[in-house]
Amino acid sequence: MREELLKSFVDMDEQEAVRIARELVESDGGAVAVLETCKEAMEEVGRLFEAGEYFLSELIAAGDMFNQIMEFTLPKLQGDEVASIGTMVLGTVQGDVHNIGKDIFKVMAEASGINVIDIGIDVPHEKFVEAIKEHKPELVGMCCLITLGVDSMKRTIEVIKEAGLRDDIKIIIGGGRVSQAVMEHVGADAWADDAARGVRLSKELLGKE
Amino acid sequence: MAVDAKQLAAERAARLKAAVELKEPDRVPFTGIGGDVIAAYAGITSYEFNFDYEKQCQAIIKYVKDFPSDQPVIGMTGLGNHVASMAFSDYPDLYPIISRVDGPTNDILGVDYCRFPGRELDENSSPQFIGREYMSAEEYDELIADPVKFCFEKILPRIVRAFRDMKAPEAHAAMARLALEKAKAGAAMRDMFRQLQELGYAPGGLSVFFAPLDFIGDQLRDIPNLIKDLRRYPDKVKAATEAVLEPLLKVSVNAKGPGVETAMIPLHLNEYLSPALYNEFYWPTLKEGILRLAELGMKSQVFFEGRHDAHLETILELPAGWGTAYFEKTDVRKAKKLLQGHTCIMGGIDVGMVISSTPAKLDEYIKEILGEMMPGGGFILAPNIGNLPRETPIENIRAVYEAVEKYGKY
Amino acid sequence: MVSPEMQKLAQERAARMQAAIELKEPDRVPFTGLGGDIVAAYAGITAYEFEFDFEKNRQAAIKWLKDFPADSPVGGIGGLDNLAMSVAFVDFPDLANQFFMVNGPMNDVLNMKFARFPGRQLDEYSSRQFIGGKNMEPEEYDELIADPVKFSYEKILPRIAGNLADLGSPTSLATMARLGMVKAQQAAEMRKTGAALAELGYPTGGGSTFAFAPLDYIGDHLRDLPNLVLDIRRYPDKVKAAAEAILEVLVKWTLQGKAAGAVQAGFPLHLNEYLSPKLYREFYWPTLKEYILRLREEGMRSRLFCEGWHDAHLDTFLELPAGWGIAAFEKTDVRKAKKVLAGHTCISGGIDVGVVISGTPAEIDEYIKRLLGDMMPGGGFILGPNVGNLPRNTPIENVAAVYEAVEKYGKY
Ligand code: B12
């Protein structure tokens, strides 16, 4: 059944995947199996995306399936069964309201075991600082799709530094406007303009890969 | 505006003001006479006058240049859309675009009571208001409860073709088109007012107000029905006049442009009513309207259409210096006897004479009127009705202006 | 009166563009120029002033164009796409196009839910924002299919325009009148701006109007992009039928722009990047292609701005007749596009705005030199930025470096 779930998920057969997951989750130890299979499937989808076989629509569809399945799976799991590999505060920076890419990255990061605290879009610099203080994450993710947002990221990182929090965290940036040059310009630690790579790098920053 | 134009404008305004304040100015203030003849004088059809802004403005300027008076003679540029003014009375910025229907805007709206030259009428006719019954007697309660809402929801869709279904895209498109069209007219108008200023006329205009019972008679029930209603549902009619008073005043405020100090009040039902009915149904809310307009900073200029002889005395209930009584058929001499020192009187030139008489007779006629009406001041010379037809002999018009020049000095 | 010199300049500029579109080599590489928020900053005014004060906007644009002349003008009052309103009023050809771009003063009247403007919902220095949103439920596809115009008018308009929320109310009618008043004022301003541009030697007339891939109407204005992407899998037949129904309406609308003098239709593509070639070909491309061909039959040319990555779909252009129009690219490398499309499709773009923002003048000189060296030979290329907006704090010496490099290396 795990095989079938994996296959239908990766093949984007939403109805079938959800049906199998519902069935599986009721069996003994099923919830853990569903969780792991879905993570594996998300990873595979990410791989296919990086290979150019899958496109954004598949990422979105996969994310949606993942969320649907988790909705009935997570309540069935014990606390220690969902242990995360680390926490990330994630937001689209001030002045930028694009959220699709961030949301895709978020599900994939969650699927890989990162506990993501999503603080939304058009996030003011101070709100990043507050969230870091509150959630004490290992990682901060910033998303930026418009040129204007580049400056915003730079400023946010400065504000984090001023608050004395920069050394406690690693910062990864993503979205359509990021590059090696932008990463250096704003003073981040890693960059990715696709979600799969972003998840890989995040895990590396957490020392989990 | 050149200095002499400015000075001329100031003199003209002072002249009119002095008369309203019941004083003797330097000369008798004269409103001028015009109407459809303005288009004819410019050699254009009424259709052109009503549909072509530029030609209209040129015609007016030509006429005003050749026939200067204390007020520019504009003629008839469209018909009032009073139900719309009331329906949108809470939107003062819309007043300039919804309050009047002219040729092009009627093409957009399709107003049931409007007839325009070159459309429903011959191309040399003047625009016509042909009202009908737009409200049934059963609807008085609704009108009384909320006249603005009632006019908006019930009457506008019956009157304006484009508003038949207020929710429809047609209605919404019509509003946008109306504004776009009025902007075109506005450009031509601004140009005209600039030229008028150069000719020594101060910018300004008139606000409007209606006797509440006239609003019901003209716009909603149609006069014959209303007359019957007075006997059948007297309490409802009375309550309705009281209900429409406030929104009508709101419209007057909306219509009051910068510098406007006068509200024109054309009366219609007055002539139809016995003093008993007049005093019970018509006069109370009209009187209150006049008093309220004064509080709002406007003097009234009441145009007593038809014969007002039977109701003249009621004018004395208003405080002296309240405004101007403009007469059509009532003899201004008779009015003067009663109102001198209390009310400024306006009118005096029988348009029928101007149309059919000769220059020599007109000279004599004006001389006589002025001789009787000028002494003591408080008089504005004006035609008894606003519209001189296209065929009016120009030499007769000229004779009037020349006579005013000759005999109008105090 | 426009001087003969400037008239000549305008002709040269127009001819340069035209030659590239016809896949020929002009005298110089046509260059669309750079612009965006920087135009206001350069004139020392806020984004708010630029968006709301037409006189200041015009002066800013003139100053920019005097110092940074290109083959087509940039600047001017822009706005946010309000396609649902144009669709809703498509049966009123004198109005539909006027409602399409919501600018600051128009939004003060309409209060669109998708819009945010500097000095209003945003601070004075921000650029205006289209924030989108979901305005339609999947259950409503049938209604959309049955009558896209009626549906857009009755259902969508009240949901997206705060002041048209209650159609048929005094407020909604008053809003339309106020919109008309604003548009009338703006038309007068536009004429002034047009005259000012003519004096700077920019072609008048023969302008551009808008067009949208039918699926983008659904994604941008009705369902919101991620939902549409899911709909494609869940309700494929409905999505397809909707695209077809919308096509008819949009073609009609774009042709209204033609009737007003436009010779070109600009399509900003949004969903392209999201779709695999399979989905692109099945759902997106058929109606887009037909749109382009229908406009072509009517004598209009199309310009497709392929936002994001378009690499996977490049070969679909080859289904169109050679010389059909312009393909402009954002992230897709124009060199790669040239390999596929040379001799068939005019290519536009090339300047990565990121380089202009963060590079040095020397790097930029080198960058443009290489770009033109690769792209100019054979013609059929229009140089332009990959996205329209240079932010306020873009170093001006970098902007100047671009223009100087184009001057230096742009001659055929
Ligand atoms: C959809 C879209 C919109 C939608 C957004 C809907 C939404 N809810 O997000 C709407 C219509 C609302 C919109 C609005 C605007 N947009 Co827009 N929009 C796009 C479009 C077409 C696609 C963007 C997108 O979703 N891409 C797909 C996602 C999945 O890609 P992504 O974000 O890069 O994410 C991937 C990775 O980067 C990564 N990732 C994402 N986040 C993160 C975070 C981390 C930490 C990591 C590691 C990885 C990661 O994972 C994702 C999956 O691989 C692009 C053009 C294009 N094709 O790129 C323009 C574009 C981004 N928009 C643009 C503009 C200008 C605007 C507006 C300013 C327009 C306007 N004048 O109003 C407004 C934005 C206002 C604002 N201030 O933000 C420009 C930006 C130009 C520029 N350089 O500044 C673009 C490039 C279009 C263009 N060519 O002009 N837009």
What tokens appear for B290 in the block? Answer: 């006049």
Q: Any chain B CB within 8 A of the CB of C260?
A: no
For position C75, what pLDDT does the model report? 66
User: Ligand 1: which residue has its CA nearest to atom 90?
Assistant: C387
CA atoms in the 13 A half-sphere facing the CB of A143 = 26
Tens digits of per-residue pLDDT, A67-84?
999 999 988 887 667 778
What tokens appear for B221 in the block? Answer: 């029930």
User: Ligand 1: which residue has its CA nearest to atom 75?
Assistant: C129
Confirm whether B12 is domain-assigned.
Answer: no
Consecutive H or E run containing A49: helix A30-50
Query: Which residues pair with residue C347 across a beta bridge?
Result: C327, C381
- Dist CA C293 CA C247 (whole Å): 12
Whether A55 and C274 lie within 8 Å, measured CB to CB: yes
Cα dihedral C230, C233, C236, C238 in deg (nearest 10): -30
Confirm whether B220 is domain-assigned.
Answer: no
Q: Kindly give the pairing relationship between strand C346-351 and strand C325-329.
A: parallel
Tell me the nearest-neighbour CA distance from A54 into chain C, angstroms: 6
Whether C177 and B152 lie within 8 Å, measured CB to CB: no
pLDDT above 80 (res C18):
yes
Q: Which domain holds residue B58?
A: 44-66+77-203
Q: Which residues on chain B are in Cβ contact (under 8 Å) with C181?
A: 93, 97, 179, 183
Which residues make Cβ contacts (< 8 Å) with residue C151, sequence separation at least 6?
C140, C143, C144
- Dist CA B120 CA B122 (whole Å): 7
- Candidates C181, C183, C190, C192, partner chain B, best to mutate (most B CBs within 10 A): C181
Q: Is the CB of C80 under 6 A from ligand 1?
A: yes
Tell me which CATH code domain A2-80 carries.
1.10.1240.10
Asked if A127 and A89 touch (Cβ cutoff 8 Å), the reply is no
Give whole-number Cα distances, B227 to B219, C18, C62, C149, in Å.
14, 74, 66, 48
Whether C89 and B91 lie within 8 Å, measured CB to CB: no
What is the CA(C308)–ligand 1 centre distance, in A? 9
Give whole-number Cα distances, B251 to B95, B208, B248, in Å.
8, 8, 5
Whether B179 and C184 lie within 8 Å, measured CB to CB: yes
Q: Position of tokens 């605290």?
A: A117
Rg (CA), chain B: 21
- Dist CA A164 CA C357 (whole Å): 29
Give whole-number Cα distances, A72 to A23, A31, A107, in Å.
11, 9, 16
Asked if B328 and B384 touch (Cβ cutoff 8 Å), the reply is yes
What tokens appear for A64 in the block? Answer: 């949606």
Tens digits of per-residue pLDDT, C187-238?
999 899 889 999 999 988 778 999 999 999 999 999 999 999 999 999 999 9
For position A76, what pLDDT does the model report? 87
Whether C176 and B176 lie within 8 Å, measured CB to CB: yes
Asked if C111 and C162 touch (Cβ cutoff 8 Å), the reply is yes
- How much is the average pLDDT of C58-80? 90
What tokens appear for B4 in the block? Answer: 């002499």
| Ordered DSSP codes for C293-326 | HHHHHTT-EEEEEE-S--GGGGGGGGGSPTT-EE
Tens digits of per-residue pLDDT, C311-325?
999 999 999 999 999
Consecutive H or E run containing C35: none
Establish whether this prediction's ipTM goes over 0.90.
Answer: yes
Confirm whether B331 is domain-assigned.
Answer: no
Whether B176 and C95 lie within 8 Å, measured CB to CB: yes
Give the residue ranges of DSSP H helices in C81-140: 83-88, 104-110
Query: Which residues pair with residue A86 across a beta bridge?
Result: A114
What tokens appear for C127 in the block? Answer: 């650029």
Give whole-number Cα distances, C15 to A172, C263, C378, in Å.
47, 14, 17
Amino acid type, B113 = Y
Whether C229 and A56 lie within 8 Å, measured CB to CB: yes
For residue A209, name the pLDDT band (cuts at 50, 70, 90): low
Confirm whether B382 is domain-assigned.
Answer: no
Confirm whether B291 is domain-assigned.
Answer: no
Sequence spans of domains, chain A: 2-80, 86-205
CATH class of segment(s) A86-205: alpha beta
Whether A55 and C276 lie within 8 Å, measured CB to CB: yes
What tokens appear for B223 in the block? Answer: 């006069």
Q: Is the CB of C286 under 6 A from ligand 1?
A: no
- Dist CA A5 CA A14 (whole Å): 10
Q: Which of C88, C92, C170 sits opposite B91 (nearest CB)?
A: C170
pLDDT above 60 (res B252):
yes
Strand, coil or helix: what is B207? strand
pLDDT above 60 (res B1):
no
**In 3D, which of C346, C315, C351, C313 has the Cα closest to residue C330?**
C351
Q: Any chain C CB within 8 A of the CB of B83?
A: no
Consecutive H or E run containing A150: helix A147-162
- How much is the average pLDDT of C315-339? 96
Strand, coil or helix: what is C189? helix
- Dist CA C275 CA C265 (whole Å): 23
What is the CA(A98)–ligand 1 centre distance, in A? 5
Q: Any chain C CB within 8 A of the CB of B97?
A: yes
User: Ligand 1: which residue has its CA nearest to atom 87?
Assistant: C307
Asked if B303 and B265 touch (Cβ cutoff 8 Å), the reply is yes
- How much is the average pLDDT of C46-53? 95
Q: Is the CB of A174 under 6 A from ligand 1?
A: yes
What is the CA(C307)–ligand 1 centre distance, in A? 10
Whether C184 and B177 lie within 8 Å, measured CB to CB: no
- How much is the average pLDDT of B312-341? 96
Confirm whether B338 is domain-assigned.
Answer: no
Confirm whether B214 is domain-assigned.
Answer: no
- How much is the average pLDDT of A98-103? 91
Task: Please provide the distance, in angstroms rounded to a whole number, between the alpha carbons at the two ends of chain B.
Answer: 28
A2-80 matches A86-205 in fold:
no
Which atom of ligand 1 is nearest the CA belonging to C272?
57
CA atoms in the 13 A half-sphere facing the CB of C74 = 24
- Dist CA C224 CA C218 (whole Å): 7
From its phi and psi, is residue C201 left (phi > 0), alpha (psi between -120 and 50) or beta?
Answer: left
Tens digits of per-residue pLDDT, B172-215?
999 999 999 999 998 888 999 999 999 999 887 899 999 999 99
**In 3D, which of B341, B91, B248 has the Cα closest to residue C170?**
B91
Confirm whether B362 is domain-assigned.
Answer: no
Q: Is the CB of A145 under 6 A from ligand 1?
A: yes
Amino acid type, C61 = A
Amino acid type, B61 = I
Q: Cβ of B360: how many Cβ atoms within 10 Å? A: 9
Q: Any chain B CB within 8 A of the CB of C291?
A: no
Asked if B37 and B390 touch (Cβ cutoff 8 Å), the reply is yes
Q: Which residues on chain A are in Cβ contact (under 8 Å) with C279?
A: 55, 57
For position B76, what pLDDT does the model report? 76
Tell me the nearest-neighbour CA distance from A2 into chain C, angstroms: 23
Whether C232 and A57 lie within 8 Å, measured CB to CB: yes
Mean pLDDT, all residues of chain A: 92
Tens digits of per-residue pLDDT, A3-31?
999 999 999 999 999 999 999 999 888 89
Query: Which DSSP letter does residue B319 get?
Result: P
Which atom of ligand 1 is nearest the CA belonging to C353?
83
Amino acid type, B294 = A
Higher pLDDT, C360 or A148: C360
Strand, coil or helix: what is A24? helix
Tens digits of per-residue pLDDT, B73-97?
987 788 999 999 999 999 999 999 9
- Candidates A11, A58, A122, A148, partner chain C, best to mutate (most C CBs within 10 A): A148
| Sequence-separated contacts (24+) of C118-124 with Cβ below 8 Å | C118/C46, C118/C47, C118/C48, C118/C50, C118/C51, C119/C46, C119/C47, C119/C48, C119/C49, C119/C51, C119/C52, C120/C48, C124/C46, C124/C47, C124/C48, C124/C49
Kindly tell me whether chain C and chain A come into contact, counting contact as 3+ Cβ pairs under 8 Å: yes
Q: Position of tokens 């209606």?
A: B210
Residue to mutate (ligand 1; options C81, C114, C129; most atoms within 8 A of CB): C129
What is the CA(C210)–ligand 1 centre distance, in A? 21
- Dist CA A207 CA B168 (whole Å): 63
Alpha carbon of residue C115 to chain centroid: 17
- Dist CA C223 CA C312 (whole Å): 24
Strand, coil or helix: what is C83? helix
From its phi and psi, is residue B381 left (phi > 0), alpha (psi between -120 and 50) or beta?
Answer: beta
Q: Is the CB of C51 under 6 A from ligand 1?
A: no
For position B3, what pLDDT does the model report? 67
Strand, coil or helix: what is B164? coil
Q: Position of tokens 């954002």?
A: C330
Q: Any chain B CB within 8 A of the CB of C147?
A: no
- Dist CA B147 CA B164 (whole Å): 19
Number of domains in chain B: 1
Q: Is the CB of A104 under 6 A from ligand 1?
A: yes
Cα dihedral C216, C219, C220, C223 in deg (nearest 10): 150
For position A151, what pLDDT does the model report? 86
Q: Position of tokens 């908006």?
A: B152
Whether C180 and B169 lie within 8 Å, measured CB to CB: no
Chains that touch C (3 or more CB pairs under 8 A): A, B
What tokens appear for C172 in the block? Answer: 């909604």
